[in-house]
A = this chain, B = another copy of it.
Amino acid sequence: MSSNKPVIDFYFDFSSPYGYLASTRIDALAARHNRRVTWRPILLGPMFKAAGTAPLTNVPLKGPYSVRDFLRTSRFLKIPYTQPAAFPIGTQNAARVFYWLSDRDETKARQFARACYHTYFAEGVDISPAEKVADIAARLGEERSAVLAAIADPLVKERLKNEVDAALARGVFGSPYLIVDGEPFWGNDRLDQVEAWIETGGF
């Protein structure tokens, strides 16, 4: 494994369109510079509370523009995108299963994350129900019953809560949010700066 490569911390909410767009680009970016990416799903709800903000699409004026921007930016980047009918959604089930998988198999956890994002934002299918999350994990070879048990497991819930608290403590307030060598970058829009930062050692 490549565990001694320097890390890019990649924070995202499974309900975040710009998190999804970044998720399709970040591993290739890291590979170009011999970095590895630590995927860290978080929940935006507690962060919106801390920052006193709201989901973009709930904001007057900004809301309608945002959906237009999700669609247009995905076309600009040539990434498949469908605005989900259910939006935004609670993503604690997907995030719990991610960390549960991650403790055993980081590669599979990442495949699971990509599959969740693809199901929600490329196919437009609501991934908030535990049953749907179990379907996605089952296609990667997991037992449905074990996945459903993990979702309800107090230790797994606690694990996710700790991850969200740790992210908040690092100043994470949005999705995607990347930290590279101590430098924070917010937004899919900042991947160009992330890459330049790595190339130049900071600017």
Interface, chain A (partner B; CB < 8 A):
47, 50-53, 59-62, 64-65, 68-69, 72-73, 75-76, 171, 173-174, 184, 186-187, 189-190, 192-193, 196, 203
* Bound Cα distance A97, B171 (Å): 40
B51 x A193 contact (CB < 8 A): no
How far in angstroms is the closest Cβ of chain B from A2? Answer: 28
- A61, A171, A187: residue with the most chain B Cβ atoms closer than 10 Å: A61
* Bound Cα distance A174, B203 (Å): 28
Residue on B nearest A66 in the bound complex, by CB: B186
A60 x B52 contact (CB < 8 A): yes
B65 x A186 contact (CB < 8 A): yes
* Bound Cα distance A22, B187 (Å): 18
* Bound Cα distance A75, B73 (Å): 24
* Bound Cα distance A72, B196 (Å): 11
Contact of A193 among B73, B190, B193 (CB under 8 A): B73
